[in-house]
């Protein structure tokens, strides 16, 4: 009872984009918003989709996605939307879907483990298909089970954990943009000192450290999955300048962004940058 991955990948839009109007899904579609905003059809209505929102569609559902100008929580107007997606089908998926009611949209408080699996599925999909059907099937099943867990954990968060998760989501949403610690604290209604302490207590790192991790991870995604220049990647990943990006990247991973990209192009794997960039 195998499942089949029809398509998967990482998508980033910096210009207006729209799918076919009211497309009817013929397979299952999972889509995780990782940065920026867009709008999508959710339960019959166009809905604003933000960083951390997971969309789950089954065959027969209406799918309509639109990327347009938006104003973020810092008052900036821009076009920016990044997501991971997977389109799949199979008997196992049908049985998994029937086991529990699936929300068409749910905000995932912490989705790093999902991204690790998602990235691995993308890499396996790039290989010769006949060689990896069984592994891809197992990875897809693992992704589905982690989705179940993430949905359950998100619904049970409360109190300080919930506030910390909201701060984490805010940083994930604005990491590639200039923001202040005061913005994060105000978002959850806490003083700066309380917000700083709570975040460090829950996640073992400062807000700035976490934002930098996201910026580095974003830059690696774009080096791997886009044809953007390194200067464009530096700017759109939140570093502002290539000089600063180069310095931070080398300090973290021991090689320059250019060297990393050349290694990836040659198919050289196992660098610290590759491993660290794909783990939050």
Residues 204 and 138 in one domain: no
Last residue of a domain, which of 156, 187, 215? Answer: 156
Residues 123 and 20 in one domain: yes
Residues 211 and 268 in one domain: yes
Residues 11 and 122 in one domain: yes
Last residue of a domain, which of 156, 176, 198? Answer: 156
Residues 120 and 31 in one domain: yes
CATH for 62: 2.60.120.280
Residues 135 and 222 in one domain: no
Residues 141 and 35 in one domain: yes
pLDDT at site 177: 86
Residues 36 and 96 in one domain: yes
pLDDT at site 276: 40
Q: How many domains does the chain have?
A: 2
Q: SS3 letters for the chain?
A: CCEEEEEEEEEEECCCEECCCCEECCCEEEEEEEEECEEEEECCEEEEECCCEEEEECCCCEECEEECCEECCCCCEECCEEEEEEEEEEHHHHHHHHHCCCCCEEECCCCHHHHHHHHHHHHHHHCCHHHCHHHHHHHHHHHHHHHHHHHHHHHHCCHHHHHHHHHHHHHHHHCCCCCCHHHHHHHHCCCHHHHHHHHHHHHCCCHHHHHHHHHHHHHHHHHHHCCCCHHHHHHHCCCCCHHHHHHHHHHHHCCCHHHHHHHHHHCCCCCHHHHHHCCC
Instruction: Write out residues in the chain with pLDDT < 70, as ranges.
Output: 1, 109-110, 128-132, 154-159, 268-280
pLDDT at site 274: 44
Residues 89 and 178 in one domain: no
Mean pLDDT of the chain: 86
Residues 50 and 177 in one domain: no
Residues 9 and 131 in one domain: yes
Residues 62 and 194 in one domain: no
Last residue of a domain, which of 134, 156, 178? Answer: 156
> What range does the domain containing 194 cover?
159-277
CATH for 215: 1.10.10.60
């Amino acid at each position: 009872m195998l499942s089949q991955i029809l398509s998967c990948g990482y998508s980033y839009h910096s210009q207006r984009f729209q799918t076919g109007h009211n497309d009817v899904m013929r397979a299952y579609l999972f889509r995780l918003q990782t940065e920026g905003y867009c709008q999508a059809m959710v339960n019959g209505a166009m809905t604003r989709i933000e960083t951390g929102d997971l969309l789950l569609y089954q065959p027969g559902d209406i799918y309509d996605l639109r990327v347009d100008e938006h104003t973020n929580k810092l008052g900036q107007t821009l076009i920016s939307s990044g997501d991971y997606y997977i389109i799949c089908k199979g008997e196992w998926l049908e049985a998994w879907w029937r086991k529990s009611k699936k929300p068409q949209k749910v905000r995932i408080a912490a989705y790093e483990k999902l991204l690790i699996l998602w990235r691995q599925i993308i890499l396996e999909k790039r290989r010769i298909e006949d060689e990896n059907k069984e592994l891809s099937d197992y990875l897809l099943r693992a992704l589905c089970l982690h989705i179940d867990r993430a949905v359950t954990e998100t619904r049970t968060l409360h109190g300080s954990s919930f506030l910390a998760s909201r701060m984490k989501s805010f940083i994930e949403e604005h990491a590639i943009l200039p923001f202040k610690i005061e913005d994060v604290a105000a978002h959850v209604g806490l003083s700066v000192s309380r917000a700083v302490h709570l975040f460090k207590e829950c996640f073992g790192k400062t807000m700035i450290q976490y934002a930098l991790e996201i910026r580095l991870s974003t830059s690696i995604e774009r080096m791997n999955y886009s044809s953007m220049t390194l200067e464009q990647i530096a700017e759109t990943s939140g570093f502002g300048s290539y000089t600063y990006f180069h310095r931070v990247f080398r300090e973290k991973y021991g090689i320059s962004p250019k060297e990393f990209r050349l290694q990836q192009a040659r198919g050289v794997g196992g660098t610290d940058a590759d491993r660290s960039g794909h783990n939050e």
